């Protein structure tokens, strides 16, 4: 059983389109995250949710909107896609907001044409 699963694994689309990435965790964790990994492998946190509530919103354009329908799911919707959005997006979860290891999904590679 995959602990943190993301769909789709690959997403190729044109500039200006709107797309969504879904994430689900079956670990019973309270906290979920979205990260962006650029072409140089740098991992940057975008959002964090705890029990469906937004905790962290780093300096991310408001074209990115996370939604957490329940604490096992954290989806990412992106409007008006730009070339600079091309990256690998990782979902992760941790037990709670204390210092805990994070469990990552295998990523969604987003390519903007």
Find the part of the chain contacting another protein (CB under 8 A) among 18-26, 67-75, 79-87, 88-96.
88-96
Bond preceding residue 16 cis, omega within 30 of 0: no
Exactly one of 21, 24, 31, 81 binds another protein (CB under 8 A); which one?
31
Task: Tell me the per-residue interface mask from 48 to 77 with another protein, x by CB under 8 A, - otherwise.
Answer: x------xx-x-------------------
Measured CA to CA, the distance from residue 48 to residue 93 in angstroms comes to: 9
What is the separation, in whole angstroms, between the first and last Cα of the chain?
A: 34
Dist. CA 18–CA 88, nearest whole Å: 16
Give the Cα separation of 74 and 113 in Å (integer): 26
C-beta closer to another protein: residue 53 or 70: 53
99: contact with another protein by CB under 8 A: yes
* Site of interaction with another protein (CB under 8 A): 4, 31, 40-45, 48, 55-56, 58, 90, 92, 94, 97-107
């Amino acid at each position: 059983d995959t602990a943190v699963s993301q769909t789709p694994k690959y997403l190729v689309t044109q500039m200006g389109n709107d797309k969504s990435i879904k994430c689900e965790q079956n670990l019973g964790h309270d906290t979920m995250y979205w990260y962006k990994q650029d072409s140089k492998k740098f991992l940057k946190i975008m959002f964090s949710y705890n029990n469906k509530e937004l905790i962290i919103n780093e300096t991310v354009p408001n074209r990115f909107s996370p939604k957490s329908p329940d604490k096992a799911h954290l989806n990412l919707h992106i409007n008006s896609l730009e070339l600079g959005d091309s990256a690998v997006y990782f979902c992760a979860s941790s037990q709670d907001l204390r210092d805990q290891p994070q469990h990552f999904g295998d990523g969604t590679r987003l390519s903007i044409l």
